Amino acid sequence: MAGAKGVGADRQQRADHPPRLAEALEAIGAGAYVVDERGRIVAANSRAEELLGRPVADLTGQDAHELLHRGCQGQALPATQCGMRQAFHAGRTAQGGEEHFARPDGSLLPVSWLITPYSADGHRTCTLVIFHASGHPHGPGPGTAQAGEPLSELERLALLAETTTRLTSTLDVDEALRRLVDLVLPRLADWVVIDLITEHDEVWRTAVVHTAGDRLVHHDDLQGPMPPVPEDSPMPLSRALRGVASALAGPETYRRPPDSGIAVEQRRLFDTTGIRSAAIAPIRGARDVLGALTLGRAETPGGFTATDLPLIEDIARRAGLALDNARLYQRQRAVAETMQNHLLPQMPRVPGLQLTVRYLPAPDASQVGGDWYDAFTLPDGATALAVGDVMGHDLEAAAGMAQLRNMLRAYAWSQQGPSSRIVECLDEAITPITDVSMATLIFARVTRTGADPWQVTWTNAGHPPPLLVTRDGLTRYLTDGHGLLLGTGVHTPRPDATVVLPPGCTLLLYTDGLVETPGQSLDDGLDQLRQHAAALAHRPLPFFTNQLLERVQPPGLDDVALLAVRTPYPSSGADGGLAGGDGVGALP
């Protein structure tokens, strides 16, 4: 049903665009197409047809990123690593020359591009993409340059510029290494070996790759842990790993009696690969030596000479700076995630209720740390529930979240008033006492008196509304009780709202990372959440939460906190009786 609705909407949207849009694109001498707010192609010109090898009919209605955008090896390109997609989501004008478009025959078209917002009919904002072919279509993998051919000075400068651009545009270590391999094969060599020094001062042979025609072949059998670096060995790899100097090497270099375990591994490398000429350079970071880069030639004519070393040293130095930044970024992310997970509480055991929580960190470290949940028992026997989002980034947001959560607990325990009063006290104190500038929050009390049904009373401070799902799959967003977010400085009375919780129902509190997707309206995200929650309503609560996250597929641009509460159902042994929370979890 959802698919049919989407197709119908696409057709209607395409029909809404005036015919003159296609005519306007034909006036552009380069390839051009227009995408709607969801990134789907609504029009393209004949030059785009020619360059992409696809008729307009096959382009129209397709997601441009999924259909066209590929990495330099032909692999699917995550949206977070695509410059065009990031500019599209940001709604800004941008240009670049580091993208590849997929053609239906499997070849890749290197392109230079410009992307800009475009008003197609006076009120709907679309995006115009203009692109030129920056090279000839080629198969996935390396370009057509041949190893062993001397590079001109202009080609050397171009290679160094490309190395800087491509390696510094990612903060993922594995992706940086893939790009490094693609840059040097087969332009400079037919083999590349990358040895990295880990944070525990161990050497790990991270990559052994050679080019075979249009393919890159990875040799996992030659990768893995290496012996320690000798302190005084004169052998080329040992000197490079100590940061002493770059050097040339060949099979004869390692045929003498080995002076270390690394020399033994190097002899095995030369014997197995057939490399007859190699250049080895240190990979240096801002403070330490990070490893060594080895380029080898086995099948192509010519050997490395001393005149090649400055270029290889430059490439290795740029790789070192990129890897240093990526490692620092990953350490920062790990600290933020660890802090966030330690600060998030375990769920209490509440007789008659099930509570389950999930937390998914964003892949971008700058977005980790602001989303949180909490649940605790109050002196009058009610169960307090809270889900919130602190504005800010990384460790700052995680620290602000801890302050806010602790203050909320203190007010809720001491005031013992309605939810609105607790949040009013918190709002009054947030600016003078905490480092939090603004935050959104839902604070709720779940109660039951004797044989009375369970009920929830809540107040909402600028947060996405809770979702109530009955056991029969009926859904309702609890939009009452809505007030201003925290930290605005405007202190007005906050409303409370109350609903009765049916037997076997699920109450879902969540943060906006679950329903907000760039290029998609919030209503679409809420509808998607409602649809999947309804389909899973009868499932056990842990399965419900895991499957909900898997099916909704949060875009990963923000972290996600999720708290689900289920009331007992008289006829179900699994859902009724005494149950507690299953703790903090993430999708496998």
Task: Find all residues with CB under 8 Å of 198, minimum gap 6, and list them.
Answer: 204
Sign for the pseudo-dihedral over CA of 479, 484, 486, 491: negative
Tell whether 140 is covered by a domain.
Answer: no
Is there a single domain that holds both residue 513 and residue 416? yes
pLDDT at 258 over 80: yes
Tell whether 26 is covered by a domain.
Answer: yes
Is there a single domain that holds both residue 98 and residue 72? yes
CATH number of the CATH domain containing 514? 3.60.40.10
Is there a single domain that holds both residue 477 and residue 453? yes
CATH number of the CATH domain containing 195? 3.30.450.40
Task: Find all residues with CB under 8 Å of 373, minimum gap 6, and list them.
Answer: 344, 357, 359, 386, 387, 388, 509, 561, 562, 563
Report the pLDDT averaged over residues 305-317. Answer: 91
Helices (H), 249-383: 261-273, 309-343
* Three-state secondary structure of 73-98: CCCECCHHHCHHHHHHHHCCCEEEEE
Total domain count, the chain: 3
Is there a single domain that holds both residue 259 and residue 303? yes
Tell whether 396 is covered by a domain.
Answer: yes
Q: Where in the sequence is the domain holding 406, given as residue range(s)?
A: 344-579
pLDDT of residue 335: 61
Is there a single domain that holds both residue 392 and residue 527? yes
pLDDT of residue 143: 41
Tell whether 144 is covered by a domain.
Answer: no
Report yes or no: 89 and 115 within 8 Å, Cβ to Cβ.
no
pLDDT at 376 over 60: yes
Is there a single domain that holds both residue 114 and residue 161? no
Is there a single domain that holds both residue 247 and residue 165? yes
Domain boundary residue, one of 332, 352, 367:
332
CATH number of the CATH domain containing 59? 3.30.450.20
Could you tell me the two tokens for 558?
Answer: 């923000």
* Half-sphere exposure (Cβ direction) of 394: Cα atoms closer than 13 Å: 10
Segment 440-474, tens digit of pLDDT: 999 999 998 777 899 999 999 999 999 999 999 99
Is there a single domain that holds both residue 350 and residue 499? yes
Torsion angles phi and psi, residue 167, rounded to 5: -80, -35
**106 class by beta-carbon count within 10 Å (0-12 exposed, 13-18 middle, 19+ buried):** exposed
Q: Kindly report the pTM of this predicted structure.
A: 0.49
pLDDT at 5 over 60: no
Separation of alpha carbons 259 and 232, rounded Å:
10
- Cα 290 versus chain centre, distance: 25
pLDDT at 191 over 50: yes
